[in-house]
Every structure is written in structure tokens, then in C-alpha cells.
Amino acid sequence: MMEKDNSSSEQEFIYGIHPVLEYIKSGKAVERLFIQDGLNSPAAKELKVVLKQFDIGYQQVPGAKLNRITRKNHQGVICYLSLIEYQDLQQVISESFSKSVDPIIVILDRITDVRNFGSICRTAECMGASAVLIPERGGALLNAEAMKASAGALSRLPVCREFNLKNAIRFLKESGLVIISCSEKGTQNIYDHKLNGPVAVIMGSEGEGVSSEYMKLSDHTLKIPMTGTISSLNVSVATGMILYELTRQRNQH
């Protein structure tokens, strides 16, 4: 039971409790999983147990949302298939240090536009980032449009996905990475700050910027100096600017 969702740029999905259950048990990657509110049949309960075993999150949604995706008998469950294999964050960091490479991690806080997401991944790969880190919920759907916008980068650049970004940031700090939030609220501009060594850069959502809870975990909050009258940049453009400055400083050393 597989279809393509035209509203999500031909993202493939499967539906029905048993097909989704078998797909999960096969160990294949899940992009996003929707379960209808109030679904408590024995088969649905079994699915939730298996999801917990495989540490896969899901969203409970109204039946109307599922009906908008497909009019077929979805049985209250729709699973979007992942177009990539997500990588383990700890392994990415470990491999970077084992190769004597200072890791660069780009953390995306609720970036919801798939084109921005794809473009950021393209720039990150070009600038030698070790990985892009995204939340399991609240981010852009990694679909065909995102793949296209990345110009192939998503097939090369490790993408890590964590249920709890706060814990992931703490892990990066404990691993020796300097955590930098990029925000117009920053007190120091990116050109006046040393960006050498292991670093993670947090880029915030298109509308709200970096979450305050992540700013509190950051070692520094930096801004991109601007002279025009518009107060903010597109997040993809801003990411490119800070990654370029980071790469420029590293090349000098």
C-alpha cells in the first residue's frame, strides 16, 4: 500500500497498520509518521509498542488530516518514507576527531521551508561541514523538493536527527564543541569572533529565530553586521555567510 503525495513533492508514503508495522520491523528509515487521534485497536497498540522499541516518534493527528493525504483505507496510520539514511551524531563526532578534523555541525532549529533546508545542506556540504543536525519534529519534510534544492548534497552530507535537540546540544558541548547561535540579537559580529576549533552553529526558524532555550545553552550569540534598512536575512543566506566566514578563518590557519 504505497502512494505518492503530490502536495509533498512526490514524497512516497505507505498506509495501513500492518504495512507500516512490517516496514518498521524491517529496520528501514522513517521520515514522518502520523497516527490518528484515539486509535486504540489491538493492532494500533502493537504498532505503538514496536515504535517505542525502535525509538521512532510519531504525531497524533485528526483523521481529517490523514484523509487529505489519501482517501484510501489508511486505518488511521500513514508513514512517510525517508529518502536518506540518518546518521548517528555520536558516531559523526567520533569519526571527525579520529581523523584529527575539527567537526562543524550545523544545527537547524525549526527550519520548515524545504527549499531553505535543501539550500542550507548544499552550502554546508560545500563548506566542509561534518553534519547537519535537525529535530525529529517541527522541521521541514525531507522530500524530493528538499533533495532537489540541495543539488545532491543530501546524498553526501551526513544528516543527524534527534528527538531532543537540547540533549544533543549538551552532548556536543561535553564533546568539546563551541556552541554558537546566529541571531540579530547577538552582541558580537561574526567577523570579530574566532571560529577555529570544533564548533556547532545554531540557525533559527524563518519566523522566530533561535529558541531562547538553545541560546541559553550557547557559548556565544553572534550576528551578521548589516548596513541596509531590512533587519533580517533569509536563513539559508545567513547560514552561507557564517559558514563562509568560518571556513575563511580556518583556511588562514
In the structure, what pLDDT confidence band is assigned to residue 9 with cuts at 50, 70 and 90? very low
Domain parsing of the chain, residue ranges: 2-81, 89-252
Tell me the C-alpha to C-alpha distance, in Å, between residue 126 and each of 85, 119, 130, 155, 180.
20, 11, 11, 13, 20
Question: Pairing mode, if any, of strands 2-5 and 11-15?
Answer: antiparallel
CATH superfamily of 2-81: Ribosomal protein L30/S12 (3.30.1330.30)
Angle at 86 (CA atoms; ends 83, 87), nearest 5 degrees: 150
Question: Pairing mode, if any, of strands 30-36 and 77-81?
Answer: antiparallel
- 58-69 pLDDT tens trace: 999 999 999 999
Evaluate whether 87 touches 160 at the Cβ level (below 8 Å).
yes
pLDDT of residue 6: 58
- 146-170 pLDDT tens trace: 999 999 999 999 999 998 999 999 9
Q: Which CATH architecture has domain 89-252?
A: 3-Layer(aba) Sandwich (3.40)
Identify the CA nearest to 213 among candidates 160, 135, 103: 135
C-alpha span between 169 and 218 (Å, rounded): 9
In the structure, what pLDDT confidence band is assigned to residue 24 with cuts at 50, 70 and 90? very high
